[in-house]
């Protein structure tokens, strides 16, 4: 079961991060200084790990105080609102 969870989490985060503003910023940093590819990778990877750690800690804290089904619904509504806002601004 752990391997299945690992695969689902990896796939979800990987697909969500593809071609987003973070990846584009990393691409630009790398293009500006091609000799520093390892530095750009290390900095970007560290930032993503830290952001995910904050998400895990916040999720653990919130899960202690809210029902996870409610939290899932709130997140879903938030994504829908962000999508609608993006469509209306376009």
CA distance 34 to 40: 9
Q: Return the domain boundaries, the chain.
A: 2-89
pLDDT one digit per residue (tens) for the chain, 90 residues: 699 999 999 998 888 888 888 889 999 999 998 899 999 999 999 999 999 999 999 989 998 999 989 989 998 999 999 999 999 987
| The pLDDT value given to residue 16 | 86
* DSSP structure string for 40-87: HHHHHHHHHHHHHHHHHHHHHHHHHHS-HHHHHHHHHHHHHHHHHHHH
Considering Cα of 58, then 59, then 60, then 63, what sign does the dihedral take? positive
């Amino acid at each position: 079961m752990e391997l299945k969870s690992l695969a689902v989490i990896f796939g979800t985060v990987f697909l969500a991060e593809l071609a987003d503003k973070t990846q584009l910023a990393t691409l630009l940093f790398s293009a500006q200084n091609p000799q520093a590819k390892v530095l750009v990778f290390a900095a970007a990877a560290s930032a993503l790990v830290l952001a995910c750690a904050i998400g895990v800690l916040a999720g653990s804290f919130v899960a202690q105080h809210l029902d996870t089904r409610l939290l899932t619904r709130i997140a879903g509504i938030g994504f829908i609102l962000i999508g609608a806002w993006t469509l209306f601004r376009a």
